[in-house]
Amino acid sequence: MPSRDFSLHGAIDLGARQSAARKQPGRQAQGGGAGAGVGAPAAGGQYVVDVTDQTFNTEVVERSQSVPVLVDFWAEWCGPCKQLGPILEKLANEAAGKWILAKVDIDANPQLGAYMQQMGVRGIPFVAAVVAGQLLPFLNGAAPEPQVRQAIDQLFEALRKEGILPDAPEGEQPAAGADAPMADPVTQRAEDALQRGDLDGAKAAFEELLAADPRNPQAKQGVALVELSRRVESLDPDRTLQEAAAKPGDVQTQIRAADVEMVSGLMEQAFDRLVSAVRATAGDDRDAARKHLLSLFDLLPPDDPRVTKARRSLQSALF
């Protein structure tokens, strides 16, 4: 169960959803708000709540302004979900309110399930983190309890370093939207398109940013994210990885598997896979693996240590 690159770049801002819900007459969500306790508890304990399309705003979005919420996307037919769910519930109760677990049945709540598609996630179990109204991809797949516990600790440590966790005294926290006036309108248009799932609109806006500044790292990441999302739309993750294991010498199969690993947060594995393909091939196949690896680097900041390590490995494989 890999952890993702924990930052607000690429996160989904849930504020627009919350504002729209508030404007709809007669659509008061059930349960308490952020300051009303933990809402309707699920069978997993006091700090675990079942949420729906209707209660998500109060149980998750509002609550995330004061405490992090992990959202467990699951379904009754999903075997691995039944392994991961009890582990998350146990850890949520151990945390005793430091974070809340919200469980979402994607079959019963298609609007919430759509968030997975916006984040490029194809399968469950999947866990997202909601902090200060921002929805971030977090974990993909089931894993033993020690690994899940470690991943959660790493998440909160990363969020603290980013200054994202709402742990400062209330009077010292910046007002919501304080940074909004500084947002570039084209960048905002690109982010809004991503949130809507409009990949064409997002790419057009990011390319407009690149036309103005070819070195814009956020725009490069945005274009790379859109292109990756398009490539994995029609892929079945498990089948793709199985095919890659069965056909180690097929470069195109390895490229598809690397894409699946990237959207699953297995970035180092994706890089290693393509470096191995470069080592094992020659001619056009080798060049295809090399070029695809370079394109995946654009999904992360250029100074990311994982990119630095992979670049060294690529250089060694080439020379």
Q: pLDDT for 9-64, tens place per residue?
A: 445 656 544 444 444 444 443 333 333 333 334 444 578 999 998 898 888 888 88
Q: Residue 144: pLDDT above 50?
A: yes
Q: How far apart are the first and last CA of the chain?
A: 34
What H or E segment, with its residue span, contains residue 74? strand 69-74
pLDDT at 15: 56
Cα–Cα distance, 102 to 164 (Å, whole number): 20
Q: Which whole-number Å values give the CA distances from 270 to 49, 173, 198, 264, in the listed order?
A: 35, 38, 26, 10
Cα–Cα distance, 287 to 156 (Å, whole number): 39
Long-range contacts of 244-252 (CB under 8 A, 24+ apart): 244/273, 248/280, 249/280, 249/281, 251/277, 251/281, 251/285, 251/286, 251/288, 251/289, 252/288
C-alpha dihedral over 17, 19, 25, 31, to 10 degrees? 70
Contact by Cβ (8 Å): 47, 95: yes
Q: What is the pTM of this model?
A: 0.48
Mean pLDDT over 76-81 rounds to 86
Reference 212, options 244, 186, 189; nearest CA is 186
pLDDT at 36: 33
pLDDT per residue over 213-249, tens digit each? 888 887 888 888 889 888 988 889 899 999 999 999 9
Reference 58, options 88, 73, 37; nearest CA is 37
Only one residue has tokens 């570039």, namely 184
Q: Catalytic residue positions? A: 78, 81
Q: Which domains does the chain have, with CATH numbers?
A: 43-162 (3.40.30.10), 185-231 (no CATH), 235-318 (1.25.40)
What pairs with residue 103 in β-bridges?
A: 50, 72
